[in-house]
Chain A
Amino acid sequence: MTIRHHIADDTLMAYVGGTLAPSLSVAVATHLAICPRCRDSVAMMEEVASLYLEETEPLSHSEKDKDAALLDQIMATPRTETAEQGAVSSLAGPAIGSVPRPLADYMPVPLDQVPWKRLVPGISHYPLPQPGGKRKGSALRLLKIAPGTRIPEHSHSGQELTLILEGSYIDEIGRFQKGDIADLDNEIHHQPVADTDQDCICLIATDGPLKFSGIFSRLLQPIIGI
């Protein structure tokens, strides 16, 4: 897998700082699992963030008694048996198939058993549970686009991340293949079309509703329900 489209630095920074919407964070973490380059960027940002901790001076009054008690309390806790723990946790994980764990954690069924719901000819979707509970304008869903099908032109009032899980699509920005992520904000109007003989399956995370233009699209919008 050669990844050509990555997460923008402003999105990665919000992820590192913990201010990115939970739905978008799932898409980011899923891409990070398969993209060493974006993980390097995260590591760099964590170094930047930790400079601020290094610059923070301890409080003027010391908390010696509190600290001594806390130190004793922690060291009274057994340290975990490292290797065994790791092995157990990876075996106990959900059946994940070809989907990285950050996404698999939110998938009630494996990717090849998804009960797709048809939206319009050529386009089906499958809404996923929302991480951290329902949040206005925020959604996580899988979308399946049949070969040659064009997604109605739309723009975004918030942020949208599209991660390609299978197949590929092409739009005004370029060609997106397995592993690629499209990090779009509200300035971009686009009209992706699945461009091979294979279904294109993608994860779409949004924070802020999509805005469709055109009559057909306005019909579609209430069906998608975002």
Chain B
Amino acid sequence: MLREFHYMTPPEGISGKTETPQEKQGGLSADLCELGATGSRDAFARIFAEMAPRLRAFMLKNGLGASAAEEVLQETLLRVWRKAHLFDPEKSSASTWIHTIARNVKIDRLRKEARPEPDPEDPSFIPAAPETGEENMARKQDSALIRKAMSVLPPEQLRIITMSFYEEKSHGEIAEELGVPLGTVKSRIRLAFGKIRAEVEKMQ
């Protein structure tokens, strides 16, 4: 499955991994739940060992200076340590939860102000209708399904997702670099996510 995914890998290519992402996810998710429930230092040490080196490499790759990258890494892992009880394995995979924290730390740092976000504690917040057991089952495989769905995207759509999420470029920067109108970038994004949704639904 990883080979089908080659458009989004860094130029060095994929090194031989012994664990599949799913197996790794399982351990990470269990550790994060344990940390949230008991404050286990062992669980946190395992999460740290798994995530810190990869987060650091991810932070450094787009020109964030070494000291800025360390600050983002430190703040991210501190939030993981303090907020693990907020992790809900039904709602996202463990690495997505940690990655989202890292992205927010980085965004807030660049903007010098927190990005506005919905707050589930807000009395005006409207929660989702309670899920059926069946939907819960589907959710747990989303990460694998999404990975698979992305492999069917045409190269020009995958390219734009990679430029957005891996190279962290704005739509305007992408349009300029590819020499296409902004509207084309937007419509490719809409097509890509439409296709990912349709593929995931087909596989469920």
Contact = CB atoms under 8 A, between A and B. Distances in A.
Interface of A: 1, 8-10, 13-14, 16-19, 22, 25-26, 28-30, 32-36, 39-41, 43-59, 62-63, 66-67, 70-71, 73-75, 77, 79-80, 82, 86, 89-90, 93, 96, 98-102, 104-106, 131-133, 185, 187
Nearest to A90: B121
B119 A101 contact: yes
Contacts of B165: 17, 48-49, 52
21 contacts: A17-B103, A18-B106, A19-B169, A19-B170, A32-B118, A33-B126, A47-B92, A51-B8, A52-B165, A53-B99, A57-B10, A57-B57, A71-B52, A79-B39, A79-B82, A86-B121, A89-B121, A100-B118, A100-B122, A101-B119, A131-B113
Interface residues of B, number: 90
Given A22-B113, A51-B147, A132-B111, A35 B126 contact: yes
Q: At the interface, is chain A mostly helix, strand, loop or mixed?
A: helix
Contacts of A62: 53
B193 A9 contact: yes
A84 B110 CA distance: 31
Contacts of A96: 122-124
Chain B contact residues: helix, strand, loop or mixed: helix
Contacts of B107: 18
With a 10 A CB-CB cut-off, give which of B21, B91, B117 has the most chain A CB atoms.
B117
A77 B129 contact: no
Nearest to A179: B126
A59 B60 contact: yes
Contacts of B52: 67, 70-71
Contacts of B9: 55
B24 to A, nearest CB: 8
Given A34-B125, A101-B124, A102-B117, A9 B194 contact: yes
